[in-house]
Amino acid sequence: MDVTEFGLRIILLFLPGIICASLIDALTTHPPRTQFKFTLRALILGVASYGILALFFPNLSFFAALSDLEVVPSLIEAGYASTVALGLAVLLTYIANYKIHFKIAHKLRLTKRFGDRDIWGYLFNSRDVDWVVVRDHKRNLAYDGYVSLFSDDSTDAELYLEDVKVYDNKSGEHLYDIPGMYMSLDRTDMTIELQNVSMGDTGVPKESSNAQQRD
């Protein structure tokens, strides 16, 4: 078996893992991954995809093809395993984005970590945070609006607000309205107040004053 054939064989065997790892990386926020870490995760996820498939089709040729070069990998199995990989990617993306594993760990008192890269990501990825008041102390302005887009972490501290009401920060005088506003924040001159927060354990969010005015 020449190098080209061996490389194509490896790609075919672990195609589901590559698909799964690529989707997870595209749909989640995470530190930059090295090529080694991506390859390792792809291999693990590929084996997991075939393992799940083997629960329904015990006689897969995949595991035999790993140890026996005479066994030809099945294109049909690779297709089915790729479908399983898509479902696995959706499940793992949901767990990662909603920090399900950290919530379980919190319940078990295993950790106090929240899972995001910083508190910025933790807050804005929360489903309870949508209406905010951004106070620009340097310019004496306050922006009351709906968080439509935000940067992955606080390094850039970027926000895009919609349905924005602009006020004088000190007097509270309403100055003007604007449909959308992009801002890159200097964290030393800004504070952000959250308009919607959970009410204890009920999970029911409070309505912001801005939201009520728009109803």
Residues with Cβ within 8 Å of residue 133, at least 6 apart in sequence = 142, 143, 144, 192, 193, 195
How do the domains of the chain map onto residue ranges? 3-101, 128-214
Is 136's pLDDT higher than 80?
Answer: yes
Percent of the chain's residues with pLDDT above 70: 84
Is 63's pLDDT higher than 70?
Answer: yes
Phi, psi of 40 (to 5 degrees): -65, -45
Condensed to tens digits (0 to 9), the pLDDT of residues 161-192 reads: 999 999 999 999 999 999 999 998 887 888 99
Question: Mean pLDDT in the chain?
Answer: 83
Q: Where is pLDDT greater, at 153 or 157? A: 157
Q: Looking at residue 88, what is its pLDDT?
A: 97
Domain 128-214 has CATH 3.90.190.10: no
DSSP per residue, 45-99: HHHHHHHHHHHH-TT-SHHHHHH-TTSPPPHHHHHHHHHHHHHHHHHHHHHHHTT
Of the candidates 165, 151, 103, the one whose C-alpha atom is nearest the C-alpha of residue 123 is 151
Whole-angstrom Cα distance, residue 100 to residue 97?
8
Q: Looking at residue 115, what is its pLDDT?
A: 64
Condensed to tens digits (0 to 9), the pLDDT of residues 15-45 reads: 999 999 999 999 987 778 899 999 999 999 9
Query: Are the beta carbons of 7 and 76 closer than 8 angstroms?
Result: no
